[in-house]
Amino acid sequence: MNSAHAQLEAVLDRLIAEHTRDAGEVVAARREYEDRRGRVFEDEDLWEAWSAAFIEWYLVERLAGDHPVAARSLTEARIAGDDELAAQIRAYLTSHRSLFEVRALGGGRVELVDLIGGASFSVAEPRTLHGVEVGDVAELRVIGWGGEVLFGRTFVYHPPAARAAIAGHVKALAARGDDRRAIVDHVAALRIKVDRYKHVAPSKVYELDREKISE
């Protein structure tokens, strides 16, 4: 892990320590998260990925009053004159979560295209992403820091065979006025169904739900 990745990992761990002391608030946030995306249980394969995505959402997206909870830490860092910490927290607060398709891999980089907004991202990633291939679709969080685009901890992969159906969801949901976060969460809920409806082809799970949107 290079220094930029290590810095973001450290600031995220700091934010987690600062803002998860109120267990009741975390539980309430988890319920809200599950209302948006569906519930995953501890014995399911998605649990770790779901939980990592939740904690980032809780810190930098979910509003506690008028701002995400991490914004309080940003204000405190600025008051304390800790410009580096403030910049790191701001990087997380301005991060981008979306549905991406992997367009290229290699040389310490992952080339992505945002399936919702259409933007391209070249992510610096020295780690080997085991099992990831060109054409894969995933919910990811990308963060601008240190002159590079880096990954957060949100990695929720969708079945490659569902690529066309997911693109259809994006188009249909955007047409009815859903914002990016709602689209990402809607498609995430379908990922849960794939693991539970093992008798149905993954692409069919996504296709059947898309038919309901247009009804």
The secondary element (H helix, E strand) that includes residue 173 is helix 163-175
For residue 131, the 8-state DSSP code is T
Nearest to residue 188, comparing CAs of 99, 119, 93, 55?
Answer: 99
Ordered by start, the domain boundaries in the chain are 3-93
Give the integer Cα–Cα distance in Å for 179 and 13: 29
Model confidence pLDDT, tens digit, residues 131-176: 889 999 999 999 999 899 999 999 999 998 999 999 999 999 999 9
Task: Check residues 211 and 184 and name the one with the higher pLDDT.
Answer: 184
pLDDT-derived band at 121 (thresholds 50, 70, 90) equals: very high
pLDDT number for residue 77: 97
Consecutive H or E run containing 5: helix 3-19
Cα of first residue to Cα of last residue in the chain, in angstroms, is: 48
Tell me what percent of the residues of the chain surpass a pLDDT of 90.
82
